[in-house]
Structure 1
Amino acid sequence: MESIFHEKQEGSLCAQHCLNNLLQGEYFSPVELSSIAQQLDEEERVRMAEGGVQTEEYRTFLQQPSGNMDDSGFFSIQVISNALGVWGLEIILFNSREYQQLQINPIHEKAFICNYKEHWFTVRKLGQQWFNLNSLLTGPELISDTYLALFLAQLQQEGYCIFVIRGSLPECEADQILRIMRVEQQQRPKLIGEDEAQRVSVQQTSDAGHTADEVLLDEDEEELRKALALSRQGMEVEDEEADLRRAIQLSMQGGSDPRSPGAAVTAGSSHDSGSSEEAMTAEELRRRRQAYFDRQQAQSSAHDRSSADGAKESGTKPDQ
């Protein structure tokens, strides 16, 4: 891996890094790419002037910023194409109809350059292996032949424009070495700044007074609170059924006529041990009694079905 040239991100000079990582050397500088961009701007100005320097279109063109570069270090596809032309290289849009009709397996190409939201990076074959030379990574990323097509398809799905590089790339040390040997990558490179971001996150957590053990403890306490809440719900259901059974017994012992609108029955809560009482109207008692009977009937039906299933499995008939 040490022989592979990998220029890492500086500012917004990803187009420069893309070209240099493709060509495997410091072939272009920001000054040289700016010169190409200015030349393209001048050619565009001359073409616009052919329609008349007094026209509204020409005056509007002069007021617009360059479309080939900006102050941040961004360079357009035209700049990259012209820069590669110096080395006799050309680019073809990967998903164009012209290229797709060729039906070429990506592993038989030499290199690709990819662009998304003004970020450029190179994917190149060195020796017999493919590498992602994205300047945002801490180092080259090995891509297997079987994964290459999937990798490119994933980039397209994410909105990347992919260009195929055609022509003879300059000779480089990495290509010569990797022709006679293959490399293995034990750990894939991370994004630049990823380790620092994780360190800052851990430091912020520590500064806030929350260690990893405390975070786990908080999670355990939350789970315990949920379990207690569920158990309380179960107790409330049991208490409700106990209250209802007592109310039913009282109503059957000759209490007030439950059909009378003003009738009421008093039932003590089982978990209050008779210390508090709750008055229920006849209509409320009727509804709760019906709900209680419905639950009992459902439980009984479920039990009968379970018995029938068990008998069927054992080859016997259930008791009639």
Structure 2
Amino acid sequence: MESIFHEKQEGSLCAQHCLNNLLQGEYFTPVDLSSIAQQLDEEERMRMAEGGVLSEEYRTFLQQPSGNMDDSGFFSIQVISNALGVWGLELILFNSREYQRLMIEPVNEKAFICNYKEHWFTVRKLGQQWFNLNSLLTGPELISDTYLALFLAQLQQEGYSIFVIRGNLPECEADQILRIMRVEQQHRPKLIGEDEAQTSAGQRPSVQQGLETRHGMEEGVIDEDEEELRKALALSRQDIEVEDEEADLRRAIQLSMQGASGSSTIIGTKEPTPTIIPSTTESTAGGVPQSTPSESLTAEELRRRRQAYFDRQSQQQAQSASSPDTKLTGGEPDAGHKRSQ
């Protein structure tokens, strides 16, 4: 991207950087823009004087500072518009009704100028690729065609005014080179002074947070197939969780039926002793009927039996606490049953 002209921020001269980055050359200086601003101020003064130089409105106007420039280096949209008029270029408000009626995709335009709180920057197409030429960045930022519309929408959401550039931009070296080749960007450019800001303040500047939000949008853009795959994976994970829960319920019911029938797991062995369950339905001590292994149980029945099992365990623990001679361990049966040997 060495061929791309990119003026970096100096003072508050973002309007100058915006214009030069758009035109891809050092076409305007602060003196040039100041001259345009002074000319606009004089035209406004003459219009106000038409109402009478002794009028209150005229005297008030003379006392007010210029609305087209200030000492910090800020220049108004009127100054930028007049400067572009020298090149036969005009500005159209991106979200105006007149422009929206045209139904033009942003990717089919040539360039945009963006403004928020007196900061101006350019987004321009060079060759077949789009670049964010913000003077606050350390270099040009590549913007994919698919992300451009989202990028502009995010700027609007943040309060930016966006203007479409209409007319023929001057020829430039970068445009000629990028017509026959494409570039890739391995690392996004940082904000100027970002590293120093992180070291001194321990956090990123607020402007960078806005940039990261937009980057997050780009990284979050996935095709429909990927989205469907994610949904399928999410559903499969839910099914697995349900299966795991049902397996836990079945194990809990098996333990409860073992405890009621006098069978248990011998402490210290790896495998449980076989449990014989009658084929006919019987009532256990907890009032929960037993069933054959082949009988299919619904989730509601499993939950009900598990709850009954937990209730019996609570009763057994209460009895154990009142009777010091009775001891319950792991899968041991409750009082009244002898431990199988």
- 1:192 Cα deviation after fit: 0.5
In the alignment, residue 121 of structure 2 is paired with which amino acid? F
The yes-or-no answer on 1:21 pairing with 2:21 is: yes
- 1:72 Cα deviation after fit: 0.2
Structure 1 pair 59–172 and aligned structure 2 pair: CA distance change class (3 A): same
Give the structure 1 partner of residue 171 of structure 2.
171
User: Higher helix proportion, which one?
Assistant: 1
Give the structure 1 partner of residue 192 of structure 2.
192
- 1 CA distance for matches of 2:102 and 2:169? 21
Give the structure 2 partner of residue 90 of structure 1.
90
Give the structure 2 partner of residue 208 of structure 1.
none
Structure 1 pair 46–186 and aligned structure 2 pair: CA distance change class (3 A): same
Q: How does 1:150-229 map to 2 (within 5 A)?
A: 150-200=150-200
Structure 1 pair 196–313 and aligned structure 2 pair: CA distance change class (3 A): farther
- 1:198 Cα deviation after fit: 2.5
Q: TM-score, normalised by structure 2?
A: 0.61
Question: Partner of 1:197: helix, strand, or coil?
Answer: helix
Number of equivalenced pairs: 218
Give the structure 1 partner of residue 103 of structure 2.
103
- 2 CA distance for matches of 1:127 and 1:99? 24
Give the structure 2 partner of residue 54 of structure 1.
54
Question: Partner of 1:122: helix, strand, or coil?
Answer: strand
Q: Mark the runs of 5 or more structure 1 residues left unpaired by the alignment.
A: 203-303
Question: Partner of 1:112: helix, strand, or coil?
Answer: strand
Give the structure 2 partner of residue 74 of structure 1.
74
- 1:178 Cα deviation after fit: 0.2
Question: Partner of 1:163: helix, strand, or coil?
Answer: strand
The yes-or-no answer on 1:129 pairing with 2:129 is: yes
- Alpha-carbon deviations, 1:124-162, whole Å to 9, x = none? 000000000000000000000000000000000000000
In the alignment, residue 78 of structure 2 is paired with which amino acid? Q
Give the structure 1 partner of residue 44 of structure 2.
44
Structure 1 pair 188–48 and aligned structure 2 pair: CA distance change class (3 A): same
Structure 1 pair 59–182 and aligned structure 2 pair: CA distance change class (3 A): same
Question: Partner of 2:146: helix, strand, or coil?
Answer: helix
- Alpha-carbon deviations, 1:195-241, whole Å to 9, x = none? 12223357xxxxxxxxxxxxxxxxxxxxxxxxxxxxxxxxxxxxxxx
- 2 CA distance for matches of 1:147 and 1:308? 63
Structure 1 pair 175–49 and aligned structure 2 pair: CA distance change class (3 A): same
- 1:92 Cα deviation after fit: 0.1
- 2 CA distance for matches of 1:198 and 1:137? 15
Q: CA RMSD in A?
A: 2.5
Percent of matched pairs sharing the same residue: 84
In the alignment, residue 80 of structure 1 is paired with which amino acid? I
- 1 CA distance for matches of 2:294 and 2:101? 63
Structure 1 pair 144–311 and aligned structure 2 pair: CA distance change class (3 A): farther
